[in-house]
């Protein structure tokens, strides 16, 4: 029982830290960058607890723990570190400017900005073909490496 409480508390702590870091309330540091590694280690620990429960004959508890471990491990995906500002080509910088984004914006921001600008620039909405083509080219330039 204590094992379940400890695993749930650790999971809740990691979820809280993740949400706080996404909201920008936590200062970035090496421990935030290692969050995915900590989640993966926690997932292994929870899976080991599930194996111990199987050995003791507690199959329902084991299935719950193993499910939690898989959920934790599935959320610990690799995300490449953003490139430094000097690593962008002039075409990429121009594409960011065309979409009205800061250099280094992520995929979601690129797609969102493209959709917003295409609402007004699309030829069916009274926009020009040239502007729509420029927005499409900017989007393609930025998403080709992602």
Round to whole Å and give the CA distance between 46 and 65: 6
Q: pTM of the predicted model, to two decimals?
A: 0.43
* pLDDT tier at 111, thresholds 50, 70, 90: very high
Tell me the range of 1-5, 127-131, 134-138 where mean pLDDT is highest: 134-138
Nearest Cα residue to 115 out of 136, 96, 93, 133: 136
User: ∠135-137-141 over CA atoms, to 5°?
Assistant: 120
Between 19 and 67, the more confident residue is: 67
- 82-85 contacts: CB < 8 A, separation 24 or more? 82/106
Q: Which residues of 20-57 are buried (b: 16+ CB within 10 A; e: fewer)?
A: ebeeeeeeeeeeeeeebebbbebbebbbebbeebeeee
Nearest Cα residue to 105 out of 63, 69, 133, 139: 139
pLDDT tens-digit readout, 51-107: 999 999 999 999 999 999 988 887 655 566 665 656 778 888 888 899 998 888 888
Tokens of 95: 């594409």
Q: Do 117 and 136 touch, CB atoms closer than 8 A?
A: no
Which DSSP category does 125 fall into? G
pLDDT tens-digit readout, 118-132: 988 888 888 888 888
């Amino acid at each position: 029982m204590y094992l379940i409480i400890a695993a749930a508390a650790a999971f809740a702590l990691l979820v809280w830290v993740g949400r706080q870091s996404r909201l920008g309330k936590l200062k970035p540091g090496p421990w935030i960058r290692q969050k995915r590694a900590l989640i993966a280690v926690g997932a292994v620990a929870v899976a080991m607890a599930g194996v111990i429960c199987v050995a003791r004959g507690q199959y329902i508890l084991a299935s719950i723990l193993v499910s939690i471990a898989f959920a934790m491990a599935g959320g610990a995906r690799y995300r490449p570190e953003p490139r430094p500002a000097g690593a962008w080509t002039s075409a990429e910088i121009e594409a960011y400017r065309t979409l009205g984004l800061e250099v280094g914006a992520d995929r979601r921001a690129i797609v969102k900005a493209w959709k917003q600008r295409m609402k007004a620039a699309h030829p069916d909405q009274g926009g020009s073909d040239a502007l729509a083509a420029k927005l499409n080219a900017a989007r393609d330039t930025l998403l080709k490496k992602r």
